[in-house]
Amino acid sequence: MVLPSQGIVDAGRLSRIFDKTTATYKFYWFVSIIDMICANPSRRVFTFDEIIAGMIAEAWYPIHYFKLSFGKLDSLESNILEIQRVLNIPIDASKESVKEQIIRNIDNPVIRRLLYVFTLNVPYRFLSPWIPKATDAQVVIESQVFLNDCPYAIFDKTILISNSWVEYLISYAAILKDFAFWNLSIFLQKRNPNVPDIPSKLVKPLQRAPLTRQHRFWDRYIQAVGQIHCIYTGATLTAGNYDLDHFIPWSFVVHDLLWNLIPSDSSVNSSKSNCIPSLDRYLAPMAKLHHDALRENYSSNPSDKLLEDYLVFRCSIPELINSSYEQFLILFKNEFTPMAQTATNMGFAPWYNTVAHGQ
């Protein structure tokens, strides 16, 4: 990604800020600074504490909701989990709320200890493209004369951002955040090699897409057969009278593809939440419903683009239609087994169904 230059800002130096990165700190430090400047264009002085609070708020959702691993050398993940426990902040809290509660409790000794680690290196190492191979004390001195037109000067536990950099960061905020998140996604993919769609898991989605087309698919099938039964509870489901459940949680797969959706009793969503169902118990009946529904929908509407969702199984739709149930189940096992195992390894809990079958 090519970064823009403007005035004294050297895009070449800026593009090297994430070189030799071993933790997520610099990514989130940069994004936090951009966010604060955009929210306060007239300010030039920011404390370490408020920048770090912004780092934590930015990383809050990917850690709590998507359960991404930040790596063994990274304290951000473990410290965020501890901050959530100490302050009892909801895991789905907004960035603004998380930052506000951290700042409000900044003098709490536990919170102070958890934030301290991020003050040790990142404010100084971030400036290495402009002030290379220097001790922290040297960085402080040379930053105060804005050596090589570095972005900010360090005074005690605050930074003073140069006027030219303030203008630049505001003008190109979207590009610069994309640059940071693009590099962060590469960094995290190496630490989460089997996790799908890392870029979509870096920020909290503003809105989930409606499942209108997916409901239409299942309605056609249910209308054709009269009724079906929820694989989880045994409850009778009729067209238009069911929920669509993400078999493997949406927070892991981050998509609404048809093959991971199954009609369910309305009681299931609140109980199952982001947990992993038993594949031994539920995968076979799920595959049977999908096999039958795919055949019915293909016969009534073979040009439906939604059927292309099943191409993930690396077979054509006619091949899937003509496969036996046993062959179809093998495809489902091959797709769902590694996903469920990876999600479990990341910390997604198993689901223990408390609603008896047949009720």
d(CA 108, CA 116): 12
How large is the angle between the packed helices 95-104 and 76-87, nearest 10 degrees?
A: 70
Q: What pLDDT sits at residue 356?
A: 53
Task: Please enumerate in sequence order all residues whose Cβ is within 8 A of that of 55, keeping only pairs 6 or more positions apart, or say none.
Answer: 25, 28, 29, 31, 32, 76, 118
Smallest Cα–Cα separation from 41: which of 50, 29, 33?
33
Sheet containing strand 152-155, edge to edge, reads: 45-47, 158-161, 152-155
Smallest Cα–Cα separation from 336: which of 230, 247, 256?
247
Smallest Cα–Cα separation from 44: which of 151, 176, 179, 173?
151
d(CA 60, CA 31): 13
Q: What pLDDT sits at residue 359?
A: 42
Q: What pLDDT sits at residue 357?
A: 52
pLDDT per residue, tens digit, the chain (359 aa), is: 678 888 889 999 999 999 989 899 999 999 999 999 999 999 999 999 999 999 999 999 999 888 999 988 899 999 999 999 999 998 888 899 999 999 999 999 999 999 999 999 899 999 999 999 899 999 999 999 999 999 999 999 999 999 999 999 999 999 999 999 999 999 999 999 889 899 989 987 767 789 999 999 999 999 999 999 999 999 999 999 999 999 999 989 989 999 999 999 988 988 898 899 999 999 999 999 999 999 999 999 898 999 999 999 999 999 999 999 999 999 999 999 999 999 998 889 999 887 655 44
Q: What pLDDT sits at residue 98?
A: 95
Give the CA-trace dihedral at 293, 298, 301, 303, to 10 degrees: 130
Residue position matching structure tokens 């700042």 = 103
Within 10 angstroms of residue 228's Cβ, the number of other Cβ atoms is 20
d(CA 338, CA 304): 29
Residue ranges of alpha helices (H) inside 154-228 are 163-171, 173-191, 212-225
Half-sphere exposure of 169 (CA within 13 A, CB side): 26
Q: What pLDDT sits at residue 36?
A: 96
Q: What pLDDT sits at residue 358?
A: 46
Phi and psi based region of residue 314 (left: phi greater than 0; alpha: psi -120 to 50; beta: remaining): left
Within 10 angstroms of residue 92's Cβ, the number of other Cβ atoms is 11
Q: What pLDDT sits at residue 206?
A: 65
Q: What pLDDT sits at residue 341?
A: 93
* Amino acid, res. 190: K
